[in-house]
Chains A and B, each alone.
Chain A
Amino acid sequence: MWRWLHPYAKPETVYHLLGRWLPWVTAGAVLILGGGLVWGLLFAPADYQQGDSYRIIFIHVPSAMFSMSIYVSLAVAAFIGRVWQLKMADWALAAIAPVGAVFTFIALFTGAVWGKPMWGTWWEWDARLTSQLILLFLYIGVLALYYAFSDNRTGAKAAGILAMVGVINIPIIRYSVEWWNTLHQGATLTVFERPPMANSMLFPLLTCILGFALLAAALIFQRMRTEILRQELRRPWVKNVLQVSPTTGEQR
């Protein structure tokens, strides 16, 4: 069943394949996300309860959404790397994790900033907030382990194991936090009660979500290419790739 993957599993092939897609994905990300944000900031109506502060939603919600799905993809990559001994899946950790970590950070930060006008506090030990914070720590842990080893391959394998252990924990964390918080205090601070969203707000939001997805893909592709090169630095094919433009990096 994995046989069909085989020709694609060659680092060189993947490198060039990603290189071919990268410009398109990047262009799409810039256009769609830019459009979505302009739409959201300039044209969407103000919220009748929150006024214009709600416009933070156009970054907060997409980044929060993808912060979690990216972690799942991280674990899937680690699993493939472990079970099918696909080195490149392990390397993908290094491409995926930083993007996920930054998305998580953005969700946290925009949430905190939004919380100040809405809830009157920057930080609250609310279930969602807490689990997002832990998610950030998990990302950083995977990254720290990946780069802690001087031998790239060993680092990739070790981080893969950690990513898998971490993902088993994600639902547990989620559940525990949710449950812990409601026990201690009533639902005074649940993430805001919103009226059913008007289309004039929903459509820019959906555009932004799509834009974030493309952005994540573009970032990951670019990093994956670098990572493939790093891991294969001493292989002959890399010599060809890098010597096309030894100094300027035109070939990127």
Chain B
Amino acid sequence: MQFESWQAFIEMGGYGFYVWLAFGVSFLAMGLLVVQGLRARSKLEREFVQEQQRQQRLARRQQEVS
């Protein structure tokens, strides 16, 4: 363990701002990437369900017409 205290760890020998900015933004970016990927997937599922419902609606209407 390189750091004596929690405080020292945060300060990073005076470079805390830079180090944590770099790490923070990097993890934020990766987090967003992951979240976006998962959301794309669930959006696709939603679309799929909507599409199916629409097909059913259309089929029903077609039956009513004929």
With A45-B2, A53-B18, A116-B18 in contact, is A233–B48 under 8 Å at CB?
A: yes
Cα distance A53–B13 in the bound complex, in angstroms? 8
- Contact partner of B12 (CB less than 8 A), chosen from A53, A222, A238, A242, is A53
Asked if A249 and B45 make an inter-chain contact with CB atoms under 8 angstroms apart, the answer reads yes
Asked if B1 and A59 make an inter-chain contact with CB atoms under 8 angstroms apart, the answer reads no
Q: Please report the total number of A residues contacting B with Cβ < 8 Å.
A: 40
The chain B residue sitting closest to A53, CB to CB, is B15
The chain B residue sitting closest to A242, CB to CB, is B48
- Contact partner of B19 (CB less than 8 A), chosen from A42, A56, A99, is A56
Cα distance A51–B17 in the bound complex, in angstroms? 13
Cα distance A185–B12 in the bound complex, in angstroms? 33
- Contact partner of A42 (CB less than 8 A), chosen from B1, B13, B33, B47, is B1
Within 8 A of B (CB), among A81-135: 98-99, 102, 105-106, 109-110, 113-114, 116-117
With A219-B33, A233-B48 in contact, is A43–B22 under 8 Å at CB?
A: no
Chain B interface extent, by class: 20 to 34
What 10 A-B pairs come out closest when comparing CB atoms?
A53-B15, A52-B13, A52-B12, A110-B22, A51-B13, A113-B22, A226-B41, A56-B22, A106-B26, A102-B33
Asked if B12 and A55 make an inter-chain contact with CB atoms under 8 angstroms apart, the answer reads yes
Cα distance A42–B3 in the bound complex, in angstroms? 7
Asked if A59 and B33 make an inter-chain contact with CB atoms under 8 angstroms apart, the answer reads no
Q: Does A44 touch B at the CB level, under 8 Å?
A: yes
Within 8 A of A (CB), among B17-66: 18-19, 21-23, 25-26, 29-30, 32-34, 36-38, 40-42, 44-45, 47-49, 51
Q: Which residues of B contact A113 (CB under 8 A)?
A: 18, 21-22, 25
Asked if B37 and A223 make an inter-chain contact with CB atoms under 8 angstroms apart, the answer reads yes
Asked if B15 and A117 make an inter-chain contact with CB atoms under 8 angstroms apart, the answer reads yes
Asked if B2 and A46 make an inter-chain contact with CB atoms under 8 angstroms apart, the answer reads yes
Cα distance A84–B52 in the bound complex, in angstroms? 34
Q: Could you mark each residue 214-252 of chain A with 1 if its beta carbon is under 8 Å from any beta carbon of chain B, else 0?
A: 010001001101100110010000100010001101001
The chain A residue sitting closest to B47, CB to CB, is A233
Asked if A219 and B2 make an inter-chain contact with CB atoms under 8 angstroms apart, the answer reads no
With A51-B13, A113-B21, A114-B22 in contact, is A242–B45 under 8 Å at CB?
A: yes
The residue in B13, B15, B38, B42 that gathers the most chain A C-beta atoms within 10 A of its C-beta is B15
Cα distance A44–B3 in the bound complex, in angstroms? 10
The residue in B29, B37, B47 that gathers the most chain A C-beta atoms within 10 A of its C-beta is B37
Cα distance A43–B49 in the bound complex, in angstroms? 50
Q: Which residues of B contact A43 (CB under 8 A)?
A: 1-2
Q: Which residues of A contact B15 (CB under 8 A)?
A: 51-53, 117
Asked if B22 and A219 make an inter-chain contact with CB atoms under 8 angstroms apart, the answer reads no
Asked if A98 and B33 make an inter-chain contact with CB atoms under 8 angstroms apart, the answer reads yes
